[in-house]
Structure 1
Amino acid sequence: MSDTTYVQEYNAVLETLAKYIEGCAKAEGSLMRPAFHPDAVMFSAADSAVIRVPVYDDLFDGIDNDFKPSTPSSAVVTVDIVGNVASARVDSDDVDGFRFSDFFHLLNADGQWQIVAKTFYTHPSTAS
């Protein structure tokens, strides 16, 4: 086979997401950095306000400085690929005590999938 198949692209997207998941688990931003395009952006909402977080300025440093290594359970819930664009959802339980639903947009340029945007939801703590 000379043409790339959907299964190959799907697995390549999973490999990119695995870098993010591993970086969260080990609390090492350097592990997830290769998954992100240098111009990637991240958004969340808090108190009804949209918050833009620069990935290269805040995400990696935040993972390194504010999180401890943990043993989260993570699941790639969805992957949708059309041509050289993809979207994916990853749910993670117990990333240093937090539970997240992350939504990613990815682009494939020069045969490499990279995350270009992330939006996330931090689930309320169930601790009393």
Structure 2
Amino acid sequence: MTKPTYVQEYTAIVDVLNQYNEGGKQANSSIMKPAFSEQATIFGVDADAKLVGGAIQGLFDTIDGPLFRPSPEAQGVIVSIDIVGTAASARVDTNDISGFCFTDFFNLLKVENQWTVVSKIYHTHVAG
């Protein structure tokens, strides 16, 4: 019987997701960039119900842009992580990132022994 590695894998994925959360909280993409594959994508639906997104650089540009500012009051929680071998998915809910609230769904792969986000889709909650 092989030694179970689930706890180690789970902890490694939490570390990756925490890089994302901290980068958003500090409005600094350089903190979150290591969490993502250079080939990662991001997609969501805008206020007109249109698909928006593309290369992950769009997220970094937004985080570093004028709409986002450091948000020490921001709160994020990892709602779930599902791991199967070298593939995983995760849900993160975040409140008060520059006045926005998001639900993010991440797909991760373990590449060269490191977990990396390869895609992110998101929902922006209506303030209210």
Question: What letter matches 2:39 in structure 1?
Answer: D
Structure with a larger share of its residues in helix:
1
| Contact 1:103–1:119 (CA under 8 A) maintained in structure 2 | yes
Match of 1:69 in 2: 70
TM-score by length of 1: 0.92
What secondary structure is seen at the aligned counterpart in 1 of 2:109?
A: strand
Count of residues in correspondence between the two structures: 124
* Distance (Å, rounded) in 2 between the aligned partners of 1:11 and 1:74: 16
Deviates more, 1:92-101 or 1:64-73: 64-73
* Distance (Å, rounded) in 2 between the aligned partners of 1:54 and 1:13: 21
Question: What letter matches 2:10 in structure 1?
Answer: Y
TM-score by length of 2: 0.92
| Contact 1:75–1:92 (CA under 8 A) maintained in structure 2 | yes
* Distance (Å, rounded) in 2 between the aligned partners of 1:3 and 1:19: 28
1:102 is the counterpart of 2:96 = no
* Unmatched runs of 5 consecutive residues or more in structure 1: none
- C-alpha displacement of 1:45: 1.1
Deviations 1:31-81 (A, max 9, x none): 00000000000010122222223212x111210113000021100000000
* Unmatched runs of 5 consecutive residues or more in structure 2: none
* Distance (Å, rounded) in 2 between the aligned partners of 1:104 and 1:69: 23
RMSD: 1.3
Q: State the identity %.
A: 44
